[in-house]
């Protein structure tokens, strides 16, 4: 397997579900949306439960948190905090995240899932947050100097839950309420726009590509989010990572999406986006979204890496704006 292919798989693991992620599509957007539960402020605590059901305990409120996954960066920024170090520097440097201050956040060396542990230790973290299924093998080394909390997001409610958990650890309850309410307001606005513009009848597709293409299926966080607004007929194909989200251009044409959102993983200045790679493909050109100029390249660092409430709100804003333009 080439280094480029390995890098692509690492990036997709950072932001795209690894298959088998739960979360069923929302009811038709033509039906009244269920009332959102009231936003409750969390109370300060020093323990959380990881994806294995085991307790992660801290001795004091964490001041220096190292982020090995964009969900961590997103959540900290939502709470008015700054990561001590990150693996998603493009995300934290976005103007709608930390901007110039984000450029000062140290970027950790190493590949995704194989970050340089010595570099993590040098930051002197109080807590390290990584992605379950990717960073498990780092546990023995990392836990010599800091707790490692592994997270996994299947639906947007998981993103909300992690926002609450980090807020409890860092004693940022007021910021959690404000951030959670912002997201829920954006989700409600997107659903209202969907009803107004009939987006429930608009077939949408979120896809990604580098050396090959894949689809964010309906049980992936991003696919599940878009299913709250659009018709999103892209089920998981089953099997492992390489097959679960593997749709050919011909299969995409059979569902013929009206709007397409493309995350291009490009490496180097001469790398081509997915749109450029398929520009002359006769099947690609027959897809309604492509034919009508509604296949949009979107920022991969936001759509693929930012898995928290800030990213999801911004994605909803962009998706609805594009679809109703």
pLDDT digits (tens, 9 = 90+) for 265-318: 987 777 899 999 999 999 999 999 999 999 999 999 999 999 999 999 999 999
pLDDT-based confidence at residue 29 (cuts at 50, 70, 90) = very low
pLDDT of residue 271: 82
| Tens of pLDDT, residues 212-243 | 899 999 999 999 999 999 999 999 988 876 78
pLDDT-based confidence at residue 38 (cuts at 50, 70, 90) = confident
Between strands 114-115 and 110-111, the pairing is antiparallel
In the chain, pLDDT over 70 holds for what percent of residues?
88
Number of neighbouring beta carbons within 10 Å of residue 192: 14
pLDDT of residue 21: 36
Scan for tokens 């594009």, then name that residue: 322
pLDDT-based confidence at residue 211 (cuts at 50, 70, 90) = confident
Q: What is Dmax (Cα atoms) for the chain?
A: 60
Element (DSSP H or E) covering residue 205: strand 204-209
CA angle in degrees (0–180, nearest 5) for 95-112-171: 55
Mean of pLDDT values over 80-107: 98
| Three-state DSSP string of 97-143 | CCCHHHHCCCECCEECCEECHHHHHHCCCCEEEEECCCCHHHHHHHC
pLDDT, mean over the chain: 89
* Token pair belonging to 136: 């498990």
């Amino acid at each position: 397997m080439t280094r480029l292919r390995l890098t692509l798989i690492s990036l997709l693991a950072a932001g795209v579900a690894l298959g088998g992620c739960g979360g069923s599509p929302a009811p038709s957007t033509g039906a009244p949306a269920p009332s959102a539960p009231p936003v409750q402020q969390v109370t300060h605590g020093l323990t959380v439960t990881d994806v294995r059901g085991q307790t992660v305990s801290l001795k004091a409120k964490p001041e220096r948190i190292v982020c090995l996954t964009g969900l961590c960066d997103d959540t900290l920024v939502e709470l008015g905090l700054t990561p001590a170090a990150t693996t998603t520097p493009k995300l934290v440097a976005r103007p709608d995240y930390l901007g110039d201050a984000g450029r000062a956040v140290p970027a950790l060396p190493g590949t995704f899932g194989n970050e340089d542990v010595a570099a993590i230790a040098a930051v002197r973290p109080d807590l390290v947050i990584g992605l379950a299924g990717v960073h498990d093998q780092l546990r023995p080394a990392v836990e010599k100097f800091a707790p490692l909390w592994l997270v996994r997001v299947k639906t947007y409610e998981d993103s909300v839950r992690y926002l609450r958990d980090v807020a409890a650890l860092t004693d940022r309850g007021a910021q959690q309420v404000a951030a959670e309410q912002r997201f829920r307001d954006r989700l409600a606005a997107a659903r209202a726009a969907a009803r107004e513009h009939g987006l429930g009848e608009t077939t949408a597709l979120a896809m990604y590509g580098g050396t090959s293409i894949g689809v964010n299926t309906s049980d992936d966080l991003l696919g599940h989010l878009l299913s709250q607004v659009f018709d999103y007929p892209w089920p998981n194909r089953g099997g492992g990572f390489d097959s679960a989200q593997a749709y050919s251009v011909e299969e995409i044409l059979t569902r013929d999406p009206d709007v397409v959102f493309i995350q291009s993983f490009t490496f180097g200045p001469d790398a081509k986006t997915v749109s450029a790679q398929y520009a002359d493909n006769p099947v690609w050109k027959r897809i309604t979204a492509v034919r009508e100029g509604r296949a949009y390249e979107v920022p991969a660092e936001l759509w693929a890496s930012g898995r928290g409430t800030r990213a999801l709100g911004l994605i909803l804003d962009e998706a609805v704006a594009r679809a109703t333009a």
